[in-house]
Amino acid sequence: MTYQAPTSPDLHVADEPLELAGKHILLCLTGGIACYKAAELCRALIKAGATVQVVMTEAAEQFITAVTFQALSGRPVYSNQWDKREANNMAHINLSRAADAILIAPCSADFIAKLVQGRADDLLSLMCLARPLGSTPLLIAPAMNREMYAHPATQRNLAQLQADGATVLGVGTGFQACGETGDGRMLEPEQLLEDVIAFFAPKLLLGQRVVVTAGPTYEAIDPVRGITNLSSGKMGFAIARAAHEAGAQVTLIAGPVSLSTPRGVDRIDVKSAENMLQAVINKAHEATIFIATAAVADWRVAAPSDRKLKKDGTGSTPQLVFEENPDILATVASSPAALQGRLFCVGFAAESHDLAAHAQAKRLRKNVPLLVGNIGPAAFGKDHNALLLVDAAGTTELPRASKRSLARALVNEIARRCPSPAQ
């Protein structure tokens, strides 16, 4: 079979399923200035495909109106346990039974204490106490002053909530409305959305420790110039995010790129191929899966100048001598852990032509069980790609789609091929 790669980045890509399609979220607000962020979160959840029912406490209504959330969600807001819209007058039962998750954002220190104590004196606390523990998860996004957050009582309460089965999504750090700076801010809407998506993702890599390399490397010519390539790192970052969503502990080793670190992923920034190799060696011995997505420079300048190379007006050009960079993938694939089957290695091949032949040859040469090929010029810097999976059985095409969607599909393929950590 001859692989026919897409030649244009503007080819039509079929509509992809929304990440929260079919999910019904109870978005609940308690009192706090972070209520303004909940409006954007409501919008983001809906754009991701969820239906959203908003529940507000009396304190929350002091910070933002129910009208705002009715307009954003397209549903009337609930705030009273005696709401007569419910035929049986049991909103706390009906709402919790219909939900795929209860997300309290913002969740105040007072309401956290109320949950720990099992108090049920308003609609939201009643609903949380009455939720079916086995089918309606509770997600908490704390929001409070830094001293309130650091207080031993609050920390005990958060630990108890987790022990009781709730998922605490953490807090942000930075400037607070009170004028102080520190931990306790509610996470930003896009961060919470990422956490909610990850929460619902199948945990296909639970227990796995994954190392991903991403982006280009940069090889210095002199202090201000260097050799690099057009890799944006988007594919590798998407894979790191997808592996985290799948339950893995993920370390992302990134060349020089301007991308935000995916939630829950540990990141190590490097510059050159040698820097990347050392970082990989330091982490690979702990890993069970290694995914070499980075576009590592094949060569480097043998003797970079310590001063800027300048034109002298004669038309002469500097004579650069190159030497080969270390092969990171081959180095890891030849390690005892890989050879003994304790480390599953996945390589990437960015080619300009004859993808299937070059990818299969590279897989055999580097002795890896799975090689992922793509046409570099059609993928670098783009949000979409098409992949060709090459293994001992042959090739499998992953048609053109968003890199995020492809990353999840690739993680599924890796999970299918990779032994569990217990084996």
Name the average pLDDT for the chain: 92
Q: Is the pLDDT of residue 282 over 70?
A: yes
Question: pLDDT confidence of 378, banded at 50, 70, 90?
Answer: low
> Looking at residue 313, what is its pLDDT?
83
User: Is there a contact between 328 and 292 (Cβ–Cβ < 8 Å)?
Assistant: yes
Residue 301 in this model has a pLDDT that exceeds 80: yes
- CA dist., res. 238 & res. 402, Å (int): 10
Q: For residue 73, what pLDDT is reported?
A: 97
Q: What is the average pLDDT across 224-250?
A: 95
Which of 35, 178, 345, 418 is catalytic? The answer is 178
**Residue 206: pLDDT over 90:** yes
Both tokens of residue 96? 């919790």
Domain range 24-200, its CATH number among 3.40.50.800, 2.20.130.10, 3.40.50.1950, 3.40.50.170 = 3.40.50.1950
pLDDT the model gives residue 8: 46
Reply yes or no on whether the pLDDT at 372 is more than 80: yes
pLDDT of residue 1: 43
For 276, half-sphere exposure in the C-beta direction (CA atoms, 13 angstrom radius) is 31
Percent of the chain with pLDDT over 70: 95
User: Is 231:294 a contact under the CB 8 Å cutoff?
Assistant: yes
Return d(Cα 71, Cα 83) in angstroms, integer.
Answer: 19
57 contacts 79 by C-beta, under 8 angstroms: yes
What are the residue ranges of CATH 3.40.50.1950 in the chain?
Answer: 24-200
Q: What is the pLDDT of residue 10?
A: 45
Other Cβ atoms less than 10 A from the Cβ of 228: the count is 16
Calculate the alpha carbon distances from 306 to 99, 303, 343, 407 in Å.
62, 9, 39, 40
> Which pLDDT tens digit goes with each residue over 6-28?
444 444 455 688 999 999 999 99
Segments of the chain assigned to CATH 3.40.50.10300: 209-302+319-417
Ranking 87-91, 222-226, 255-259, 378-382 by mean pLDDT, the lowest is 378-382
Over residues 175-189, the mean pLDDT reads 94
Better pLDDT: 175 or 10? 175
Mean pLDDT, residues 283-308 taken together: 94
Lowest mean pLDDT among 2-6, 58-62, 277-281: 2-6
* pLDDT of amino acid 356: 81
pLDDT at res. 380 = 72
Least trusted range by pLDDT, from 75-79, 317-321, 378-382: 378-382
- Confidence class for position 379, pLDDT limits 50, 70, 90: low
| Catalytic-residue membership of 107 | no
Which residues partner with 70 through β-bridges? none
Least confident of 141-145, 150-154, 400-404: 400-404
Mean pLDDT of 253-280: 96
Q: Is 397 helix (H, G, I), strand (E, B) or coil?
A: strand
* 209-302+319-417 CATH fold: Rossmann fold (3.40.50)
pLDDT of residue 408: 96
